[in-house]
Structure 1
Amino acid sequence: MFESAELGHTLSKEAYAEIEPQLRTDLLGAQFELLESKACAVVILINGIDGAGRGETVNLLNEWMDPRHIEVHAFDRPTDEERERPFLWRFWRALPAKGKIGVLFGNWYSDPIHDRSQGHIKKAHLDQRLSEFNRFEAMLAAEGVVLVKFWFHLSRQGQKKRLKALEANPDTRWRVREADWAFYEQYDDYRQVAEHVLRRTSTGVAPWVIVDGSDPQYRAVHVGRILLERLQRRLEHVRKGFRARQAAAPLLAAADERNLLNALVLNQPMDKKEYDRQLEKLQGRLALAVRSEAFAGRSLVLVFEGMDAAGKGGAIRRVTEALDTRQYHVVPIAAPSDEERAQPYLWRFWRRLPRRGKVAIFDRSWYGRVLVERVEGFCSEADWMRAYAEINDFEDQLVSAGAIVVKFWLSVSDAEQLRRFKARETEAFKRYKITSEDWRNRDKWPLYEPAVCDMIDRTSTENAGWTLVEADNKYYARVKILRALVDKLESALKL
């Protein structure tokens, strides 16, 4: 795969001097058109062999374009905080907003390649990571991100020559460390792993560009032209109003019209006395579980979705009553802000994930894409159809990082919802809970019901299953939620 990059590509200084001014002008023009249109974000991945000119190229891009609108992130080994989150968490947070260019130096490919070449992980583990990266990059592309992946390559002999040249120059001698020569000794192992990685992750939506790093003039022009071509192509599509067509397979209702929601018996019996007895017992078990030594190495992510007036807020309060206020955070989700709309859909949830020993409670969540956005037409059919797989991937990553994910859907009958709506309108301290939007959503329930059923069918996984809660009786609903939560925690923590 690297053979063409070892041909010794060169560009004379005279040719470079002739090409460079126009290339810089065109790149700067494309950058400002991108900034003005806010059509997309651009993510540039910088990877490759030590000494192949990665750092010099990043510096050159900052020189050629306006550095105020280029966000450069250099990643080292993860911190303790980063190790407590999914592997991709620190990269999720570094994604640029629409209109901006982000350069990720030492990105999600660096550690897996290094760890495999050093024998720290098995090939199966590496391949699992690469599949995860392909899905992540496909999601970024579907969200409109322009992803440009550069691999800077040098032959073994070229790397040796480069290191010796740096050592010979007093101004650059400091850049060569013992670790660089140690890496040179392992060049063949690293190259073999890198070739495997590039083959597995050079996809139609995010292909790798291999850059011969032996000649600085050639390297700079090659990278500049590739970046310019990608920018101009996307901007041209934006000017023409072009959007790639994506077909989505239809979701069909059952022939007998029976589904997960209308099969529920929503008015389950429980009186106040039994509720108080169960509440005290379950809250005590919950308090012990989250204060246990076993939970210190885990985190808890709770998702509450449901019909308006189904009792999500009351159920959340019964959970938080058992928790130390320093241990949990309730995240109410409303319509996305301008900042959030400038990022991939899941970005605003990625940044709110809890550390180990902590609890995040989402009052509505990432499922808005397959519910309100689907029903209201805020996204295309292809967008919400692909969201099922993206959400499952996201939750799998949470579980792999040690999170315990528990999800609840609360349902009430039409008559009970109407009674609660009217009560909210007449009681002063509840009036803030009812809006015209709630009445409008009630009229749209026939559209929401199949969306909810599809959501539960397609995202109730072995790692993060849904618990359906019959919520006409609030006492029963709260007890069921606490019992399901405690059972899941105790099972996961082996208490």
Structure 2
Amino acid sequence: MGNEEFAQRMQREVLDSYDEELELELEDRPFDAAGNEIALTEQEKLERRHYFAELLRLQGELVKLQDWVVATGHKVVILFEGRDAAGKGGVIKRITQRLNPRVCRVAALPAPNDRERTQWYFQRYVTHLPAAGEIVLFDRSWYNRAGVERVMGFCSDEQYDEFFRTVPEFEKMLVRSGIQLIKYWFSISDEEQHLRFLSRIQDPLKQWKLSPMDLESRRCWEQYTRAKEVMLERTHIPQAKWWIVEGDNKKKARLNCIAHLLSQVPYQEVEHAAVQLPERVRHKDYSRRPLPKSMFVPGKY
């Protein structure tokens, strides 16, 4: 392979990796009421290019943060809370997209089973906390009790009151143990959530995101607002502050959240030894055995 052909193949490899982000962006394609895709204006195209440039830059910083966490044994827990369709999942995908899943992992717990309902409330979350050199992102967290469980009647008044007595001490204990705890609330307007729900209904690739509980949350908008206000008031403590992310503009919310996250961790760039690819060892007595055609995936594309 000549130098020019090699350079072209390397360039295509880089472009393929960036296409991953374009694939994710299909989630955000805009539709009109009839389900037809809306053409972007020149200004919107310009803003989109700026968004990609900033996102890739921030993701490069996230890789540096990851290296520092591993090198220092730092432990980070990040909570993502907010209304349905507020953009929590989108920013989590962009944070983890280029990171090592063995270092940075997502905990998205389902509803508790019968056994877990009899446990100490925080018990099932504790098992997902990080060891040294790990980052854990909670896509919803123990604050379910202050939100959906309270609004939908899944917990008693006594359990609700006990949660608020316990959670500040629980989080202080996590911080004393060496875990850095960062809490984000994604804020979204009534009108924007309505629009996003309609978009999910029209889009067959997004309909799975709409659960009966999500639909019910629209009816209970004001109850969720009151529950959120109580939660923020009673659990915004110096050791684990709440940070509000304005989420009506998805792309700005992602960039703002990632930039803020980077500002909260005192990471530094870790120097690595230069990587050199070793020469492949070849043996004259080795020959590759052919595999039967029946074992191969059909080449339909």
Calculate the TM-score normalised by the size of structure 1.
0.43
Secondary structure in structure 2 of the residue aligned to 1:326:
coil
1:463 aligned residue: 239
AA matched with 1:367? Y
Question: In structure 2, how many angstroms separate the alpha carbons of the residues matched to 1:293 and 1:429?
Answer: 35
Judge conservation of contact 1:311–1:410 (CA < 8 Å) in 2. yes
Question: In structure 1, how many angstroms separate the alpha carbons of the residues matched to 2:242 and 2:174?
Answer: 16
Over 3 Å counting, the alpha-carbon distance change for 1:299 and 1:469 in structure 2 is same
Paired residue for 1:313, among 84, 89, 92?
89
Judge conservation of contact 2:68–2:268 (CA < 8 Å) in 1. no
Q: Does 1:478 align with 2:254?
A: yes
284-293 vs 352-361, greater mean Cα deviation: 284-293
Which runs of 5 or more structure 1 residues have no equivalent in the other structure? 1-269
1:339 aligned residue: 115
AA matched with 2:214? D
Task: Write out aligned runs for 1:425-464 (5 A).
Answer: 425-464=201-240
AA matched with 1:406? I
Following superposition, the deviation at residue 442 of structure 1 comes to 0.9
Question: In structure 2, how many angstroms separate the alpha carbons of the residues matched to 1:295 and 1:410?
Answer: 31
Over 3 Å counting, the alpha-carbon distance change for 1:410 and 1:293 in structure 2 is closer
Over 3 Å counting, the alpha-carbon distance change for 1:301 and 1:375 in structure 2 is same
2:99 aligned residue: 323
Over 3 Å counting, the alpha-carbon distance change for 1:328 and 1:293 in structure 2 is closer
2:146 aligned residue: 370
1:350 aligned residue: 126
Question: In structure 1, how many angstroms separate the alpha carbons of the residues matched to 2:168 and 2:99?
Answer: 28
Judge conservation of contact 2:82–2:88 (CA < 8 Å) in 1. yes
2:75 aligned residue: 299
Judge conservation of contact 2:65–2:268 (CA < 8 Å) in 1. no
Judge conservation of contact 2:69–2:134 (CA < 8 Å) in 1. no
AA matched with 2:111? A
Judge conservation of contact 2:51–2:251 (CA < 8 Å) in 1. yes
Q: Does 1:422 align with 2:198?
A: yes
Judge conservation of contact 2:96–2:105 (CA < 8 Å) in 1. no
Judge conservation of contact 2:70–2:134 (CA < 8 Å) in 1. no
Judge conservation of contact 1:408–1:468 (CA < 8 Å) in 2. yes
Question: In structure 1, how many angstroms separate the alpha carbons of the residues matched to 2:214 and 2:155?
Answer: 21
AA matched with 2:217? N
Judge conservation of contact 1:289–1:295 (CA < 8 Å) in 2. no
AA matched with 1:458? R
Question: In structure 1, how many angstroms separate the alpha carbons of the residues matched to 2:71 and 2:226?
Answer: 37
Judge conservation of contact 2:73–2:134 (CA < 8 Å) in 1. no
2:279 aligned residue: none
Following superposition, the deviation at residue 334 of structure 1 comes to 2.5
1:384 aligned residue: 160
AA matched with 2:232? I
**1:412-466 per-position Cα deviation (integer Å, ceiling 9, x unaligned):** 1111111111111111111111133211111101111011011111112222111
Question: In structure 1, how many angstroms separate the alpha carbons of the residues matched to 2:88 and 2:51?
Answer: 17
Larger relative contact order, structure 1 or 2 (CA cutoff 8 Å, min sep 6) = 2
Indicate the RMSD between aligned Cα atoms, in angstroms. Answer: 1.8
Following superposition, the deviation at residue 295 of structure 1 comes to 5.5
Paired residue for 2:66, among 261, 284, 290?
290
**1:307-334 per-position Cα deviation (integer Å, ceiling 9, x unaligned):** 1111111110011024212212211122
Task: Write out aligned runs for 1:204-283 (5 A).
Answer: 271-283=47-59
Question: In structure 2, how many angstroms separate the alpha carbons of the residues matched to 1:428 and 1:377?
Answer: 31
1:28 aligned residue: none
Following superposition, the deviation at residue 494 of structure 1 comes to 7.1
**1:84-141 per-position Cα deviation (integer Å, ceiling 9, x unaligned):** xxxxxxxxxxxxxxxxxxxxxxxxxxxxxxxxxxxxxxxxxxxxxxxxxxxxxxxxxx
Following superposition, the deviation at residue 336 of structure 1 comes to 0.6
Following superposition, the deviation at residue 404 of structure 1 comes to 1.2
Judge conservation of contact 2:79–2:182 (CA < 8 Å) in 1. yes
Over 3 Å counting, the alpha-carbon distance change for 1:407 and 1:322 in structure 2 is farther
Secondary structure in structure 1 of the residue aligned to 2:76:
strand
Question: In structure 2, how many angstroms separate the alpha carbons of the residues matched to 1:457 and 1:274?
Answer: 36
Secondary structure in structure 1 of the residue aligned to 2:265:
helix
How many residue pairs match? The answer is: 224
Following superposition, the deviation at residue 293 of structure 1 comes to 6.2
Judge conservation of contact 1:467–1:484 (CA < 8 Å) in 2. no
Question: In structure 2, how many angstroms separate the alpha carbons of the residues matched to 1:367 and 1:295?
Answer: 31
Following superposition, the deviation at residue 273 of structure 1 comes to 2.9
2:5 aligned residue: none
Secondary structure in structure 1 of the residue aligned to 2:261:
helix
Secondary structure in structure 1 of the residue aligned to 2:49:
helix
1:396 aligned residue: 172
Task: Write out aligned runs for 1:78-157 (5 A).
Answer: none
Question: In structure 1, how many angstroms separate the alpha carbons of the residues matched to 2:94 and 2:182?
Answer: 15
Judge conservation of contact 1:300–1:403 (CA < 8 Å) in 2. yes
Following superposition, the deviation at residue 380 of structure 1 comes to 2.4
Question: In structure 2, how many angstroms separate the alpha carbons of the residues matched to 1:292 and 1:378?
Answer: 41
**1:338-382 per-position Cα deviation (integer Å, ceiling 9, x unaligned):** 221121111111111111101111111100111112212222223
AA matched with 2:133? G
